[in-house]
Amino acid sequence: MGEELGKIRRAGKDDIPVLGGLLGHLFAQEAEFVPDPEKQARGLRMILDQPDSGLLLVAETADGVVGMVSVLFSISTAEGGRVGWLEDMIVDPAHRGTGIGQRLLRSAIKQARTAGCLRLTLLTDSDNIAAVCFYTRAGFIGSPMIPLRMKL
């Protein structure tokens, strides 16, 4: 691990304020979501309070926490076991292009495997070509399935 790249670690409750800021960057660039710091903090606390529901990883450099990724767990009858949803992958704009995102993603994949996940799925905006290329280079492939949502 190069010192300039910092370290990847599990998030803790003390990280919630900075993670909320990172999520603000993420949701501001996504077509479907709007930043709401209160909602983001509530969701982050729920993941941290229920470790069986998923994991939160952060990238930390001398500048502090500059990136995050979450993996949420579910059970798939198609896979016959645990699967993960890769959610909320974001690197602070000032630290993009440094390899931090690749390290975060590799760590998330490794920890998902360790947690028994048989598959990882993610959603990204179809017009976010940089993100699509990033995930494709990491081994993700397109799916003929499409997302449908219902607000409850």
**Residue 143 belongs to a domain:** no
**Residue 152 belongs to a domain:** no
Residue type, 78: A
Domain of residue 90, residue span: 3-137
Counted domains in the chain: 1
**Residue 79 belongs to a domain:** yes
**Residue 144 belongs to a domain:** no
Residue 140 clears pLDDT 80, i.e. is over it: yes
Please give the C-alpha separations between residue 116 and each of 11, 76, 103, 112, in angstroms, as whole numbers: 20, 12, 20, 6
**Residue 151 belongs to a domain:** no
**Cα 58 to Cα 18: distance, rounded to the nearest angstrom:** 10
Contact at 8 Å (CB) between 71 and 87? yes
**Residue 72 belongs to a domain:** yes
CATH number at residue 73: 3.40.630.30
**Residue 142 belongs to a domain:** no
**Residue 74 belongs to a domain:** yes
**Cα 31 to Cα 50: distance, rounded to the nearest angstrom:** 29
Residue 2 clears pLDDT 60, i.e. is over it: no
Identify which of 88, 86, 103 has the alpha carbon closest to the alpha carbon of residue 6: 103
- Tens digits of residue pLDDT in 53-109: 999 999 999 999 999 999 999 999 999 999 999 999 999 999 999 999 999 999 999
Q: For the chain, what is the total number of helices (H) and then of strands (E)?
A: 4, 5
Q: For 78, which DSSP code?
A: T
Q: How confident is the model at residue 4 (pLDDT cuts 50, 70, 90)?
A: low
Q: What is the mean pLDDT of the chain?
A: 93
